[in-house]
Structure 1
Amino acid sequence: MSQDEDGSQQELEIRQINSDDNTKSLSLGDPEFTPLKAFLKNEAADFHRRNVAKSYVAVDESHRVRGYITLICSQVQIAQAHHRPEGNKGPIAYKSLPSIKVARLATDKRYQGSGLGRSLLDLALAIALGDIMPAVGCRFLVVDAKKPSVGFYLKYGFTPIQENYEDEDSPVLFLDLHPFV
């Protein structure tokens, strides 16, 4: 999937986090992302075990985490949204709708630009469409994006809830799942 420090190609496995994973080797580069590393190192496995949040890691053959995504249940407040989703019979009247929140998403700086972040979002989309939506109401993927990551999510297809999202520290973005089904 990407090259390691010595230039060799590394195959990564994406799976649920476990206690054998080396979470200390993740290097995110930007100090703004330090809380993402702290969560992975200190809380992700415990939250996963307690069903508070589910984390999926991309690990190399030595179980070093090179990226991860954490998902939780949430809802999107659409009452004030400039873009209101529609159902099969026109605009939806509810003030909020169920969603899966991308609570955390990070890729090691050595893997940024390799497609790993997109692969982790693809996994979240597959879980929502294949596992959650057939059994439970769920309309969106949602994220409170850090400013440096907004472009990444917009490129993936997410839409800002607010028109003037550029002024926000962590703008809320959503991906409507309805067109995928």
Structure 2
Amino acid sequence: MDIEYIKENYRFETLGTKHDLSEFKCASDDLNDFLKNDALSQQNSKLNITKLVMCDDLVVAYVSLLTDTILLKDIRDEDIKQDIKDQLSLNSKKRKLPAIKIGRLAVDEKYSGKGLGSEILMSVLFNIKNIAENSVGLRFVTVEGYATAYNFYANHNFINLKKDDEKLKEKLDIIIERNPEETFYLYLDLRVLE
């Protein structure tokens, strides 16, 4: 299937028993296993929601979303921190702020590296922004991304939490070589989408 056709015709569907997941295969065994063995039961338990990215009847990618919080102290930008402190009249560094977490995002390996992941991520972010503006207060999107996905998220304005600074003193390519599924916590302020 042509990637441009997919980009113009994909849609999101909530994962259900009717979906055939047998052909989906991304580069990560962990992400494949989650989709095929855990996603639906976790969704049924209201722990997350998994949206399949469908083109025609083919699953080309998926994203799993859940609620999260981010600690005020983990936000890097001091102006943002001060603005939040002023709005909430608080000084506690341990204050938790509402967020939505991208728990998983995976693209079938037949379509990866062709911009589809970026297209899907931006669509998800703008949907979250719409929720934040119209349904429930939240300002941040978080992700716990693999080392192999770190630059992907960084290129979309995600910033690592301070607690991962120590890990990142080592070069990312060395980390990836040692353990490609080492995780990093990153966040995005939805205001960058304005």
Question: What TM-score range do you get, normalising by the shorter chain?
Answer: 0.7 to 0.9
Which letter does structure 1 place at the counterpart of 2:158?
A: F
User: Measured at CA, do residues 68 and 85 of structure 1 come closer, stay the same or move farther in structure 2, by a change above 3 Å?
Assistant: farther
Residue aligned with 1:111, SS: coil
* Aligned equivalent of 2:121: 121
User: Measured at CA, do residues 2 and 165 of structure 1 come closer, stay the same or move farther in structure 2, by a change above 3 Å?
Assistant: farther
Unpaired stretches in structure 1, ≥5 consecutive residues? none
Residue aligned with 2:134, SS: coil
Aligned-pair CA distance for 1:54: 1.0
Query: Aligned-pair RMSD on alpha carbons?
Result: 2.6
- The structure richer in helix per residue is 2
Identity of aligned residues (%): 22
Unpaired stretches in structure 2, ≥5 consecutive residues? 86-90, 176-181
Residue aligned with 1:42, SS: helix
Aligned-pair CA distance for 1:122: 2.0
Give the number of equivalent residue pairs: 172
- Listed one character per residue, the Cα deviations across residues 107-160 of structure 1 (whole Å, up to 9, x for unaligned) are 111111222212221232122211244332211110111000001000111111
Pairing partner for 1:69 from 63, 69, 90? 63
- Report the TM-score when normalising by structure 1: 0.80
* Aligned equivalent of 1:28: 26
User: Measured at CA, do residues 36 and 159 of structure 1 come closer, stay the same or move farther in structure 2, by a change above 3 Å?
Assistant: same
Equivalence map 1:22-171=2 (5 Å):
22-29=20-27, 33-61=28-56, 63-84=57-78, 86=80, 90=83, 92=85, 93-94=91-92, 95=94, 96-162=96-162, 163-166=165-168, 167=170, 169-171=182-184
Which letter does structure 1 place at the counterpart of 2:183?
A: S
Decide which moves more: 43-52 or 98-107: 43-52
- Report the TM-score when normalising by structure 2: 0.76
